[in-house]
Amino acid sequence: MGLRTDPVIFSVSVALTVLFVGASIVFTAPVDALFGTMSAWIITNLGWFYILGVTTFLIFLVWICFSRYGRLRLGRDQDRPEYSRLTWFAMLFAAGIGTILMFWGVAEPISHFANPPQNNVEPQSVPAAQQAMGYTLYHFGLHTWTIFCLPALCFAYFVYRRGLPMRVSSIFHPFLGDRIHGPLGRAIDILAVLGTVFGVAVSLGLGTLQINSGLTALFGVEFSKPVQVLLIAVTTALATTSVALGLDRGIKRLSDLNIALAVGLLLFVLATGSTLYLVRGSIEMVGVYLNWLVPLAFWNDTFGDTGWQGDWTVFYWAWTITWAPFVGIFIARISRGRTIREFVLGVLGLPTAFTLVWFSVFGLSAFDIELNGPGGLVQTVVVEEDIPGALFAFLDNFPFASVVSAVSVLIVIIFFTTSADSAALVVDMLSSRTQEGTTPVRQRVFWAVTSGVVAATLITATGRSGLDALSEVVTVIGLPFFAMGFLMMVALLRSLNDDTVPEAVHHLPTLRVHLPRRRMPRIPRIPRPADGEPAPGSPRWIIPRPGGPGTERPGPERDHSE
C-alpha cells in the first residue's frame, strides 16, 4: 500500500481500537462496568502512588536541571535549536494543556469556591477563594508539566543523542537493549498508541461539548448529538489539513495564531475587568501557589478520607499520564539542539508561569463576579453542572460579550485542532519505521481521522456517558505508563552518567599494583668512643670544629671550557 509503518504496531493498534469502539457500541453496559470497577479500584487503592510519583518526578527533574548533566545538549554538541523560544513555547503550549485551560479556567476555581476541598472552610468565602486557587494552580502548574517533561526529556535524549527510533520503547534501551525492536518493545509502543488515541478522543469530546455550548449561547444552536458529531467532523477536517501541511507550515502557524488569540483574550479580561484588583491578586496568587505547593504535593486526604482527591487530583494525574507519550514526543520533536537545563526550565517554567497568570485572571475575575457582582457562576457550574458553558456564562459579564465569546469558540477550535494534528503526527511516529516522522501524508491523515471517528462514535453510541467511560479507560491505561516513569528516571540517569564520564576512563580496567616488600638494611651500632679516642674499627676521621684550622676544603676541579 506504499505505507512506511511497523506492520505489527500499526495493525495491532488499529485492530484494538476498532475492537474497543465496537465493544463500546454493542456491549455498552458490561464495558462501562468493567472499566468503571477497575478505574475506581485504582483511584481508591493507588491514589497515594500517583501523588508520590508526580512529586518524585518533579524533584528528579529539578535536580537534573541544576546538576552537571544540565550542560548536555539534546543532540550533537554542534546542534542548535530549530525554533525560536517564542515559537517553541507557543507550540508546546498549544499541544499541551491549552485546551484544558480554556475548559477549566473558570469552572474549576468556581467549583472549589462553592465546594471547598477541606471541610473547615466556609463555602463562597475569601478563605474558600484562596483555597480554590491553591488547588487549581497545583493541578495545572508544575506537577502537570512534570508529567509531560520527564518522558519528553527521555525521548529527546535517547533519540537525538543515541540515535534510537522515536518510540516509547527507545527509553528502555538501557534495560532491554536490542530487544526494544522485539515483541516486548512493540507491546510498549502499542500501549502508547492506544493511550494517545483514547486520550485525544476524550479531549475532542470535551472540546466538542464546550464548542456546542458556546454556539448555543451565541446563536441558539441546539445542544445535541448530531451537532456534536458535525463539530467533531469540522475539527477533524481542520486537523487533517494541518497535519497534511506538516509541522512547520501547519501546526507551527496554528500554534502562533492561537497563542496570540489566547493572550488577546487574557488581556481583554484584564483590561475590561477590575484591573487593579486582578494585578494585585495575580501577584498574591504566586504566594498562594508557593504556600500550597509543598503541602499538596504530599497530601493524601488521610484524615478526612472524603474521596475528593480521587475524583479530582488522582483522576487528573491518571488522565494526564495518557497524554504523556503524545505530548512528550511532540515536545521532544520540536526541542532538538537545546541543553537539558534550557529544556527543563522552559518546559516546566514557561507554561507554569502562563498558567499561573491565566488562572489568576480568570479565577479572580470569577470570584469578583460572585462576591462583588451579579453572581450566577456558581448556579451555572455547580447547581446546573454546566461545566462546558462556564466560560461563556463568565464572558456575559464583560463588554462585547457576543464578539468575545465567538473569539473564544475559535480559540477552543484551534486548540483542539492543534492537539489533534499533533497527536496524529506523534502516533504516526510511534507506528512507523522512520525516526523523524517523514512518512507519507496519508498515514498522518489516517491517524487524525481515527481520533475523530473514535470520539464521534462514542458520542453517537452512548452520549456523555460514553466519554465518561472513555475517561475511565484512559485511567486504567495510564497506570502502566505511570509505573514506567520510575524506570525512565533510572534509564536516563544511567545514560547521562555514561555521557559525562570520559570514554577512556569509563572503560579503563581497574589495576592493582603489588609492590614487593623491601626491608631496610640495618645500620650497625657504633659504640660511643671515650673522650679523645675513636671508636674501635671506625676510620680515624678528623672533624674540625667550625671556624677552626683545616676547615678550608678545596672544591672539586671544574671544567670551564663550555
Q: With a cut of 60, say whether residue 387 has pLDDT above it.
A: yes
Q: Which is more confident, 467 or 407?
A: 407
Question: Cβ distance 435 to 159 under 8 Å?
Answer: yes
Model confidence at 237, pLDDT cuts 50, 70, 90, reads confident
pLDDT digits (tens, 9 = 90+) for 332-364: 888 999 999 999 999 999 889 989 999 999 999
339: phi then psi, degrees, rounded to nearest 5: -75, 160
pLDDT digits (tens, 9 = 90+) for 133-175: 999 999 999 999 999 999 999 999 999 998 888 889 999 999 9
Model confidence at 520, pLDDT cuts 50, 70, 90, reads low
Q: How far apart are CA 318 and CA 472, in angstroms?
A: 9
What does the pLDDT read at residue 302?
A: 85
pLDDT digits (tens, 9 = 90+) for 181-210: 899 999 999 988 888 888 778 778 777 888
Q: Which is more confident, 285 or 550?
A: 285
Would you tell me how many other CB atoms lie within 10 Å of the CB of residue 257? 16
Model confidence at 251, pLDDT cuts 50, 70, 90, reads low
Please report how many Cα atoms fall inside a 13 Å half-sphere around the Cα of residue 281, on the Cβ side.
24
What average pLDDT does range 250-264 have in this prediction? 77
Question: Cβ distance 448 to 243 under 8 Å?
Answer: yes
Least confident of 3-17, 232-246, 278-292, 353-367: 232-246
pLDDT digits (tens, 9 = 90+) for 84-141: 888 787 777 665 566 778 888 999 999 999 999 887 889 999 999 999 999 999 999 9
What does the pLDDT read at residue 510?
A: 46
Q: With a cut of 80, say whether residue 380 has pLDDT above it.
A: yes
Question: Cβ distance 152 to 327 under 8 Å?
Answer: yes
Residue 117's nearest CA partner among 98, 100, 139 is: 139
3-state secondary structure 188-224: HHHHHHHHHHHHHHHHHHHHHHHHHHHHHHHHCCCCC
DSSP summary character for residue 302? T
Q: Is the dihedral of CA 484, 149, 54, 103 positive or negative?
A: negative
pLDDT digits (tens, 9 = 90+) for 469-489: 656 776 787 788 888 899 999
What average pLDDT does range 55-65 have in this prediction? 96
Q: Which residue has the cell 505489527?
A: 8
What does the pLDDT read at residue 3?
A: 75
Q: With a cut of 50, say whether residue 247 has pLDDT above it.
A: yes
What pTM, to 2 d.p., does this model score? 0.81
Give the 3-state secondary structure of residue 432. strand
Q: What is the mean pLDDT of the chain?
A: 82
Q: With a cut of 80, say whether residue 176 has pLDDT above it.
A: yes
* Centroid of chain to Cα 74: 17
What does the pLDDT read at residue 505?
A: 44
What does the pLDDT read at residue 54?
A: 95
Q: Which is more confident, 340 or 326?
A: 340
The CATH number of the structural domain formed by 7-499 is 1.20.1740
Q: How far apart are CA 458 and CA 462, in angstroms?
A: 6
Q: How far apart are CA 197 and CA 322, in angstroms?
A: 9
What does the pLDDT read at residue 25?
A: 77
What average pLDDT does range 65-88 have in this prediction? 88
Least confident of 81-95, 356-370, 452-466: 452-466
Number of H helices, E strands in the chain: 22, 0
What average pLDDT does range 445-467 have in this prediction? 74
Label residues 525-545 b or e (16+ Cβ within 10 Å = b): eeeeeeeeeeeeeeeeeeeee
Question: Cβ distance 452 to 232 under 8 Å?
Answer: yes
DSSP summary character for residue 182? S
DSSP summary character for residue 530? P
